[in-house]
Amino acid sequence: MDLVNPGFGLVFWTAITFLILLGILRKFAWKPILGAVSEREESIKTALQSAEDAKKEMQNLQADNERILKEARAERDAMLKEARELKEGIISEAKEQAKSEGDKMIKQAQATIESEKKAAVADIKAQVANLSIDIAEKVIKEELSDKKKQEKLVQDMLGDIELN
């Protein structure tokens, strides 16, 4: 038998065997193979769609993150502004209170000085009155008839008085 020039019988039986094998494969193997390929194609499509959905979700999350970050920054800026205003208010209030307390202390000191000044003037007046009474008493004790003696006495007493 020559394989280069096969005979009709060999070609016939080879064709019959091939057709039977093709039928068997079609009935038992072709459908499962096509089903597996179809399932694989469907799973690839599903995976691609899931990847696309995940990509869109990631973009949405990034947009949300940026929005939340902007909101947080705006809230932080507002809180810092409020804190600055509160700080300035507290400082201003403390300055006002310190000025008020200072003015009050100055007024109290002035009132104390004024009252002590009045007390000192009253004390001086009392001392002058006492001295005047003492001088008058001494003058009266001396003889009132001798005018020269009275003048000398007044001069001596005035010399004894020390002004504070």
Tell whether 3 is covered by a domain. Answer: no
Residue range(s) defining the domain that contains residue 45: 8-120
Render pLDDT for 48-83 as a digit per residue (tens, 0 to 9).
999 999 999 999 999 999 999 999 999 999 999 999
- pTM for the model stands at 0.40
Percent of the chain with pLDDT over 90: 55
Question: In this structure, is residue 134 part of a structural domain?
Answer: no
21 domain-assigned: yes
Q: How many domains does the chain have?
A: 1
Would 164 be classed as within a structural domain?
no
76-107 exposure pattern, b = at least 16 Cβ within 10 A, e = fewer: eeeeeeeeeeeeeeeeeeeeeeeeeeeeeeee
Instruction: Write down the pLDDT at residue 162.
Output: 63
pLDDT value for 164: 45
Residue 145 domain-assigned (yes or no): no
In a domain, 70, yes or no: yes
156 within some domain: no
pLDDT digits (tens, 9 = 90+) for 78-105: 999 999 999 999 999 999 999 999 999 9
Distance between CA atoms of residues 122 and 117, nearest Å = 8
- In this predicted structure, the answer to whether residue 139 has a pLDDT above a threshold of 70 is no
Distance CA 115, CA 118 (A): 5
Residue 139 within any structural domain of the chain: no
Choice between 31 and 164, residue whose per-residue pLDDT is larger: 31
- 106: Cβ contacts below 8 Å, ≥ 6 apart: none
Confidence at 126, pLDDT banded by 50, 70, 90: confident
